[in-house]
Amino acid sequence: MNLLLLCRVLHIAATCTSLGGLFYARMVLWPTLDVLPGVERELFLTSAIRRFAYIKWSGVTVVAVTGVIQWFWTYPYVLDQRTYLVYFGIKMVGAFGLFCITFLLALPAERLQGMQTHRALWSGLNIACGLTILIGAALMRTVGKASH
C-alpha cells in the first residue's frame, strides 16, 4: 500500500510539474519574449528550453513508470473495466499527442524548423493535450473499484 501511495504522489507531482511548466511557457514566457531583442531572445529561449528539457523528460519518465505500476495494481479490481478502458483511452490520446509534440519540438531537424518557429501554437496544443489527460484521469477515478 505504501508503494501505491508513493506512486500516486509521484505520478501527480510529475504531471503537475510538467503541465504547469507548459502552462507557464505558453501564458507567461512566450508572450513576454517580444521585449527582448532578437539575438537575446534566441539565447534566452535556447537556454530556457534546455533547462526545462531535463524537468520535462524526467517528468515523462516518472509518469510512465508510476502509471504502469498503478495500472497493474488498480485495473484487476475495477468493476466496470470497459468504461475504465474508454476513459484510459482518452487519457492516452492526450498523452500520445503531448509526447509527439514535445518530441518533435525537441528534435534538431531542419524539417521541423517551421514547427519550432511557432512554439506558442504548439505549446497551446500541448496544454490541450494535458487537459485531455486530466479529464481522462478524472473520469477513470469515477469508475468503481472492488476493495482489495
DSSP for 36-81? Answer: S-HHHHHHHHHHHHHHHHHHHHHHHHHHHHHHHHHHHHHGGGBS-H
Q: Tell me how far apart the alpha carbons of residues 142 and 39 are, in angstroms, rounded to a whole number.
A: 50
pLDDT, residue 84, reads 96
Q: CA angle 123-114-20, nearest 5°? A: 10
Whole-number average pLDDT of the chain: 88
The tens digit of pLDDT for each residue in 112-125 reads 888 888 878 888 89
As a whole number of Å, the CA-based R_g of the chain is 18
Q: pLDDT band at residue 34, thresholds of 50, 70 and 90?
A: confident
Long-range Cβ contact pairs of 24-30 (< 8 A, separation 24 or more):
25/52, 25/123, 26/120, 26/123, 26/124, 26/126, 26/127, 30/119, 30/120, 30/123
- pTM, two decimals, is 0.79
Q: Tens of pLDDT along 53-78? A: 888 889 889 999 999 999 999 999 99
Mean predicted confidence (pLDDT) in 14-38? 87
Residue range 100-120: mean pLDDT, rounded: 83
